[in-house]
Amino acid sequence: MAHAKVAIVILAGTDTHESLARVVNALEAVKEFSEGGDDVRLVFDGAGVAWVPELLMPEHKLHKLYAAVEDRVAGVCDYCANAFGVHAAVKSSGTPLSADFDGHPSFRQLIASGYQVITF
């Protein structure tokens, strides 16, 4: 079976139960692709950037799942991290920021590199 190239993008905010479910599904998808030997990248954009400080807290119920795929984080939108007030927390955690196109991650670059983009 050929290996996939996939970028999983978390756009869901942190404010609803539905958003939590979307993040669980995104992280599970990253884990599945990763365990399958695929080239998978995790991107946090829009309101999704606010998840990074949450997921890094050891007491968060998704911390272990996030820790299992944390090495797949390709970037956190630099512009959105500022807009949602988490830039300092993301930067101090060592999680990579992404500002390839006007301060945002470049989805064109991902597509041009052969990645399928799935949003949550």
pTM for the model stands at 0.96
* pLDDT tens-place string over residues 12-54: 999 999 999 999 999 999 999 999 999 999 999 999 999 999 9
pLDDT of 85 higher than 90: yes
Domain ranges of the chain: 5-119
pLDDT of 1 higher than 80: no
* Residue 2 confidence (pLDDT): 75
Mean pLDDT of 80-84: 98
* pLDDT tens-place string over residues 44-75: 999 999 999 999 999 999 999 999 999 999 99
Place of tokens 């400080």: 53
> Rounded CA gap, 26 and 30, in Å?
6
> Rounded CA gap, 63 and 55, in Å?
5
* CATH number belonging to domain 5-119: 3.40.1260.10
Residue pair 1/95 in contact by the 8 Å Cβ criterion: no
